[in-house]
Structure 1
């Protein structure tokens, strides 16, 4: 693991209790994305706030849970453990171990920052005037990792 990545935030360090764990991971998210917004290639990132759930932004839920329906998302502990990773991945985009590419998404571009060695992907939505952190997640299965390598090669001509 790169020295610029913080340690994981483990559920068992909170005695396996969801409420204090949720509070802790939200505090880290708030510190990294609300109080001290990350910068990607000179652009400060905004935040996708809506739909909010339990007073927390949509971006937070996309970085800590999984599911297609906003109001039915379930916690993803691999995402939660890595809540401190999105900001350093975004801000260390010059690191050689990161694979970066953009894919068209409607009139916008989705920037993918793939830390292959750690199986971790951060997705940003480039809206031209500003960038939104969209999601970040751990890619568990080898076939999924292979898919992201193929996409990186396709969009970068590697």
Structure 2
């Protein structure tokens, strides 16, 4: 079982406005209002603070950068937007999706890592999960860190 096809920028003739509109449509229909559940509880997205009429979670799924106001679109994240619900829906039973927990500051996160290449991060809340972010894992240092966390958690 493989993830959905990529949403390529080139399929929109290099027209960022058309591509971004489609990305937001996919986000709203398949993720924010897609009825996603994980371990029997709903997965919700952060709406506020909206920017340009788009939910905060949407921007976290298609942009990168440490400083909120300076985040920029990342085409690899954009292309894989449909992977977010696929990873969440298949995370429990798919043999190529590893699951573990980590703590960042005071937040406990559940990580779903597909083939050591794509990471979805969920935060546990009272009665639901919060979709925190998702991105490609390409940097060797980040992959090493994630492997170490995962291996400690699953007892390797």
Q: State the TM-score, normalized to the length of structure 1.
A: 0.91
Runs of 4 or more consecutive aligned structure 1 residues displaced over 6 Å after TM superposition: none
Secondary structure in structure 1 of the residue aligned to 2:14: coil
Paired position in structure 1 for 2:82 = 84
Cα deviation, residue 150, structure 1: 1.1
Are the aligned partners of 2:62 and 2:75 in contact in 1 as well (CA < 8 Å)?
Answer: yes
Q: State the TM-score, normalized to the length of structure 2.
A: 0.92
Paired position in structure 1 for 2:110 = 111
CA RMSD in angstroms comes to 1.5
Are the aligned partners of 1:108 and 1:127 in contact in 2 as well (CA < 8 Å)?
Answer: no
Structure-2 separation of matches of 1:89 and 1:103? 18
Structure-1 separation of matches of 2:148 and 2:54? 34
Structure-1 separation of matches of 2:18 and 2:47? 22
Paired position in structure 2 for 1:62 = 60
Alignment of 1:7-156 (within 5 A): 7-93=5-91, 94-116=93-115, 119-156=117-154
Are the aligned partners of 1:116 and 1:145 in contact in 2 as well (CA < 8 Å)?
Answer: no
Deviates more, 1:98-107 or 1:32-41: 98-107
Equivalent pairs counted in the alignment come to 155
Secondary structure in structure 1 of the residue aligned to 2:44: coil
Secondary structure in structure 2 of the residue aligned to 1:49: coil
Structure-2 separation of matches of 1:37 and 1:108? 24
Q: Structure 2: which 5+ runs fail to align?
A: none
Structure-1 separation of matches of 2:68 and 2:130? 17
Are the aligned partners of 1:109 and 1:126 in contact in 2 as well (CA < 8 Å)?
Answer: yes
Cα deviation, residue 146, structure 1: 2.4
Q: Structure 1: which 5+ runs fail to align?
A: none
Cα deviation, residue 107, structure 1: 4.8
Cα deviation, residue 138, structure 1: 0.7
